[in-house]
Amino acid sequence: MRYLPFSLFLFLLLACDKKEDPAPVTLYFPPNSGNWESTSPASLGWDVNKLAALNDFLVANNTRAFIILKDGKIVVEEYYGKQFDNVTNFSATSNWYWASAGKTLTSVLAGIAEEQGLLNFDARTSDYLGTGWTSLSLAQENKITVRHQLTMTTGLDDGVANPDCTTPACLVYKAEPGTRWAYHNAAYTLLDGVLANSTGKTLNTFVNDQLKSKIGMDGQYIQTGDNNVYYSTARSMARFGLLLLNKGKWNDVQVVTADYVDLLSRSSQNLNLSYGYLTWLNGKSSFMAPGSQLVIPSSVTPAAPADMFAAMGKNGQVINIVPSQNLIVVRMGDAPDNTLVPFLFQDDIWEKLNEIIVK
């Protein structure tokens, strides 16, 4: 009897046992107008019996809109409550504020401006705003760069009476740039002027040209107090999240470079590991919350996938991007009934989602 060499036998055995790798999933991109394709939770194998509990939770916590995308298609889309007039029902065409979730939008606009050679992250902020934009000495002021603004490391004092105030009197020295992380709205808000002066366009014109016309977003920046706040539909939030999920590419159009999306979604400094470029990052060993210098030994959202990154704003405005699962989660609404919003609230959402999503 002739025998196969052992090495050949082992190769054939392993070859027969080898399972086919799953085909890569092609992301779906909705048209700029018309129907957005959907897929049912049941078709994905999700536990549909747990959806009612999620819905009750969202209603109880003042939610206006909630969307889940899987592979770009709508799996869950719900609207609750009233619009700002407290009369009209909230719907797919209703606008709501992004609050600080709009910081990630500003970050992407800055990335586009840099790619186009209009903006230099390592240039002095005063190159775009002129000298005297702070109350610092000229030598101190000249150390602050656009990159410091994008990473919340300007060294300006966030403990002033009004941390949203952008007048020079409110912008005072606290630490050397790059040595202290602080969630400082004023330093961020001044990026609006940096973008306007570097691109030669208003913020709304630039976002219209570079994003809205390309990915079908709606909405606009509206001056609200000291801040320019973005208002749009929940579906526009979802479109923006889908763009980031696909590394800045919409269908065949590279809207913002993949390199910039990578930069945006990784730690930008060693002071707050959970912060990228105006974007929150999950899965890190610690994070710092706005208004505090305390380093919390936890990830931002322990219940969520470690690779998630997020645009997060006041009163629980969130866009969660989960590359490992091709998921986008969007929530708009009033303040939920808990503290340390939106961190705890986002974790509560994911505790509910983990009971629904069967991986």
The residue ranking higher by pLDDT, 277 or 4, is: 277
Q: The CATH number of the domain where 277 resides is what? A: 3.40.710.10
Q: What is the pLDDT of residues 86-136, one digit of tens each?
A: 999 999 999 999 999 999 999 999 999 999 999 999 999 999 999 999 999
Q: What's the whole-number mean pLDDT along residues 230-259?
A: 98
At residue 15, does pLDDT exceed 90? no
Model confidence at 342, pLDDT cuts 50, 70, 90, reads confident
Cβ count within 10 A of residue 173: 16
Q: Is residue 12 part of a domain?
A: no
337's CB contacts (< 8 A; 6+ apart) are 60, 61, 62
At residue 17, does pLDDT exceed 70? no
Q: What's the whole-number mean pLDDT along residues 262-270?
A: 98
Q: Is residue 272 part of a domain?
A: yes
Model confidence at 3, pLDDT cuts 50, 70, 90, reads very low
At residue 73, does pLDDT exceed 50? yes
Q: Is residue 20 part of a domain?
A: no
Q: Is residue 121 part of a domain?
A: yes
Q: Is residue 155 part of a domain?
A: yes
Our count of domains for the chain comes to: 1
At residue 260, does pLDDT exceed 50? yes
Q: What's the whole-number mean pLDDT along residues 177-201?
A: 98
Q: Is residue 264 part of a domain?
A: yes
**Angstrom distance (rounded) from CA 211 to CA 236:** 11
Q: Is residue 245 part of a domain?
A: yes
pLDDT at 4: 44
Q: What's the whole-number mean pLDDT along residues 4-29?
A: 55
**Domain assignment of residue 217, given as a range:** 42-85+94-356
Q: What is the largest CA-CA distance in the chain?
A: 95
**Angstrom distance (rounded) from CA 107 to CA 112:** 9
Task: Classify residue 350 by its DSSP letter.
Answer: H
Q: Is residue 256 part of a domain?
A: yes
At residue 19, does pLDDT exceed 90? no
